[in-house]
Amino acid sequence: MSSPNLDDLRLLTNMQDDERNLFTLLLVGQMEFARTLEHPKRANLFQRIGTYGHIEKLPSEDAVRTYIESRLRIAGSQRMLFSDDAIPIIWEFSEHGVPRLINKLCKLWPESGRNQRI
């Protein structure tokens, strides 16, 4: 995001009526974006950030299994779509637990296995 765009976002946070702010902004991005916001040039914007978080890698294959099962359950699945043998592969190719990569791998898993347990 360019500096002028970030300055415009900062100006939006100044808009308020007598009782409350008129805008709530949710900024989401990769770590590079976080580093941009943390830069001293962006102090005026960074000071307005109320909550700041970072999603860590999942710590183990078991955590990856639980994560996948939870996501499937939330999506309405009644069963686990990935076999026990698939979990270590997902763990390895997700750079050992990066949630964004786990999501991508599960989505892109070969079409041939979509209707069966992989």
CA distance 118 to 109: 9
pLDDT at 112: 35
Spatial distance between the Cα atoms of 23 and 97, rounded to a whole number of angstroms? 34
The H-or-E segment that residue 74 falls in is helix 61-74
- Provide the pLDDT for residue 110: 67
Q: Report the C-alpha gap between 100 and 110 in whole angstroms.
A: 18
* pLDDT one digit per residue (tens) for the chain, 118 residues: 888 898 898 888 888 888 888 888 888 888 888 899 999 999 988 888 888 888 899 999 999 999 999 999 999 998 889 999 999 999 999 999 999 999 999 998 765 345 455 4
pTM of the model: 0.67
The pair of three-digit structure tokens given for residue 70, joined into one six-digit string:
């939870």
State how far the alpha carbon of 20 is from the alpha carbons of 2, 13, 65, 109, in Å.
Answer: 28, 11, 43, 47
- Long-range CB pairs of 110-116 (<8 Å, 24+ gap) are 113/81
